[in-house]
Amino acid sequence: MEVSTSAYYAWCKAPQDDDKKQQDQKLADKVQQIFTDNRQCFGSRRVITKSGVQPDLKKGGALC
């Protein structure tokens, strides 16, 4: 099979990007659910504590 080196490495990398996006979406959904369940009055510190994961808040932007 003739495949260029760059195409091979691009193919190898693609599933990992999808997994990361899925993990990020699951975390965003969890954070939104925690916020909604608590009458939308939790701040970022409480949401992080309840979620059990410390996301990069600068990257997340408007999540919290």
pLDDT digits (tens, 9 = 90+) for 15-41: 666 778 888 888 889 888 888 888 888
The pTM of this model reads 0.52
DSSP conformation letters of 6-45 = HHHHHHHHHHHHHHHHHHHHHHHHHHHHHHHHTTT---HH
Query: 5 pLDDT exceeds 90?
Result: yes
Dump pLDDT digits (tens) for 40-54. 887 777 877 777 776
pLDDT: which is higher, 56 or 21: 21
